[in-house]
Structure 1
């Protein structure tokens, strides 16, 4: 595993979608996505590899169309909902639980 792959792997597993990947045993799919994404980032990568990465991202719910297709919704953290207009509402890492933010669009359970 390259340094870039390790960084991507760690970043992806901090996303709210990781809850569903874990639930459905998609560790291998995430690993393949990481590997293909690092290959697609190279200057001499094949064009069709970028298409594959986009499709894989959709399948993993990493894109807006993918979230919609999976019927997933990421709720805003409570800090953002309560922030007055005109103030910074950027979440602070670790302040809120990613599990609470990911919800299935139908039924509200994640």
Structure 2
């Protein structure tokens, strides 16, 4: 006779909760460019923008600097008019791996922390502005 299942089974692969990423993004200068060769102007701009995102906090913890650099270099090339379908596909794959899409953020269990105090401040300032405009 089979054993009846436990009502409160112990998990062998304990689940981890979501990783909260700051809504204001990563602070500070981007890491040093890790790939050979110099960055061009478009790569430099994209590199700075990528490392200011909330996801960059997780990349830094995980040591994904080289992967982000590859994505940055490929993304700049993929945004050109004559980009190949293969390159566009590789960029899409890296976007998912780096948590740059809503679906990949869910899979990685990454969430953007909400700034509830800031939101309430904006709401109250907006309400005051509407009241002044009416009055």
Same fold (TM over 0.5): yes
Q: Partners of 1:31 and 1:82 in 2: how far apart? A: 37
Check if 1:14 corresponds to 2:52.
yes
Q: For 2:82 and 2:62, how far apart are their aligned partners in 1? A: 34
Q: From the superposition, tell whether residues 34 and 83 of structure 1 become closer, same or farther in structure 2 (CA, over 3 Å).
A: same
- Give the Cα separation in 2 of the matches to 1:47 and 1:82: 45
The count of residues paired between Structure 1 and Structure 2 equals 88
Matched, 1:57 2:95: yes
Where relative contact order (Cα < 8 A, 6+ residues apart) is larger, the structure is: 2
Match status 1:79 vs 2:103:
no
Per-residue CA deviation, residues 40-74 of structure 1 (Å, 9 max, x unaligned), is: 01111101211211110111111101111110000
Q: What is aligned with 1:40?
A: 78
> Structure 2: 5+ residue runs without aligned partners?
1-38, 128-135
TM-score normalised by the chain length of structure 2: 0.59
1:6-40 Cα distance to aligned partner (Å, 9 max, x none): 01100111111111111111000000000100110
